[in-house]
């Protein structure tokens, strides 16, 4: 199981490609799964983690914990993408729209243990502040 941690500032190129951090690239073979994530981010999974996530969603649907429409929406906005020789992935226009990121703009790549998240940079700043406040209260 791959583990992803850290925060990296990146930029989408004019074609919608994003260079993954070198430490993240080595944990993929040549393929990644990109899908809609919580709070308007793009979630990136290795094939193994994607399969585990799909199985978890299927189990929750069968048990009535999530609606079938959620499963459909996630599947419709999931893309199997190759990682090119320069370690780049292509963000589909549907995912860019979902995450409110535009071609040629700065984004933040965040390691969240079992996945990578791609964020509009100012959106993740506010979420990190809120999350950090929770640790101060422990």
**pLDDT tens, residue by residue, 60-114:** 999 999 999 988 999 999 999 999 999 999 999 999 999 999 999 999 999 999 9
Number of H helices, E strands in the chain: 5, 8
Residues with Cβ within 8 Å of 71's Cβ and at least 6 positions away in sequence, in order, are 57, 58, 61
**In this structure, what are the phi and psi dihedrals at residue 30, rounded to the nearest 5 degrees?**
-140, 20
In this model, does residue 18 exceed pLDDT 70? yes
pLDDT in the model for residue 124? 84
126 pLDDT band (50/70/90 cuts)?
Answer: confident
pLDDT in the model for residue 79? 96
Q: Looking at the domain that runs over 4-136, which CATH code has it been given?
A: 3.40.1550.20
Give, for 10, the enclosing helix (H) or strand (E).
strand 4-11
């Amino acid at each position: 199981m791959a583990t992803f941690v850290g925060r990296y500032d990146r930029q989408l190129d004019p074609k919608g490609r994003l260079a993954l951090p070198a430490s993240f690239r080595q944990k993929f073979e040549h393929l990644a799964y990109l899908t809609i994530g919580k709070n308007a981010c793009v979630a990136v999974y290795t094939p193994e983690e994607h399969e585990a996530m799909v199985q978890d969603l299927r189990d929750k649907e069968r048990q009535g914990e999530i609606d079938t429409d959620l499963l459909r929406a996630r599947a419709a906005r999931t893309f199997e993408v190759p990682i090119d020789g320069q370690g780049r992935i292509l963000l589909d226009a549907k995912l860019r729209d979902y995450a409110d990121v535009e071609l040629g703009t700065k984004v933040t790549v965040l390691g969240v243990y079992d996945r990578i998240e791609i964020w509009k940079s100012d959106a993740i700043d506010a979420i990190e502040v809120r999350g950090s406040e929770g640790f101060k209260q422990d």
